[in-house]
A and B are shown apart, each in its own frame.
Chain A
C-alpha cells in the first residue's frame, strides 16, 4: 500500500486531499457520462468522495483506489437515477434529433431515448456502459460489483426491452 493510501485510511485529511485531486476528474467523467448533467455530476462527485471518506476504514489496501472510486461513483450515479424524474435531468432531453444516413433514426432515437429513460436504473447504467460507452463486460462487472453473467443478462434484458419498444412503434428486428 502506498504511503498516501495508508495515511488516508488513518484519517489524514491531507492524504485524502491528494487522492481527491488525483481522482476527481476521473470520477466526474464517469458520472457525467451516466447522468448527462454537469451540475448533478459535480454534486455526485462530492457525494462519491464523501462516501469514500466515511468508509475509509473499509478500504482494502490490496486493491486499487481508482477502481474503488469508480465503483462508488457508479453507485452514486445509480442512486441519482433512481430518484423521481422531476428531480433529475432526463435522457429524453439529450436525444439529438438529427438523423443519420444509416437508418431513418430521428424517430428511432426519440423512441429509444424514451425507452431508455424508462429502464430500471441498474439496467440503464449497465446498458450505457456496455452499449454506449462500449466498456468491456469484465470492467463493468468490477465497477458495479456484480458478476460477468449479471452484466450479460442486464445487457440482454435492456436490449430486449428497447427492441420491444421499437417494435411497438413500427420498427422490426
Chain B
C-alpha cells in the first residue's frame, strides 16, 4: 500500500534530508588566501595555446568554408 504524503510533509522531509550538519560558521580568516590570489601574476598563454591559435589561423586561411561550418556548429 502506498504511503500518502502531503505538500507540507514533503517539504519537511526535504528539510530533514538536506539541512546540512556542516557548520556554517567560517573557522578562519580567508584574507591571506585572497591576498595570495590577488598577488599572483595573471595567467599567461602557454606555448600550446599559441600553437593552437596558430593552427586555427592557418586552418581559417586554408579552409575558410570548413571554418564557417565549425563556427556555425559552435
Contact = CB atoms under 8 A, between A and B. Distances in A.
A166 B10 contact: yes
A112 B22 contact: no
Interface residues of A, number: 48
Interface string B22-43: 1111100111011101100000
B49 interface: no
Contact of A38 (B13, B23, B29, B31): B23
A102 B26 CA distance: 33
A88 to B, nearest CB: 14
Given A94-B18, A94-B22, A171-B3, 16 more contacts: A16-B38, A20-B30, A28-B24, A29-B24, A38-B22, A42-B33, A46-B33, A91-B18, A103-B3, A103-B5, A105-B17, A109-B17, A112-B18, A128-B18, A134-B15, A172-B4
Interface of B: 2-7, 9-26, 29-31, 33-35, 37-38
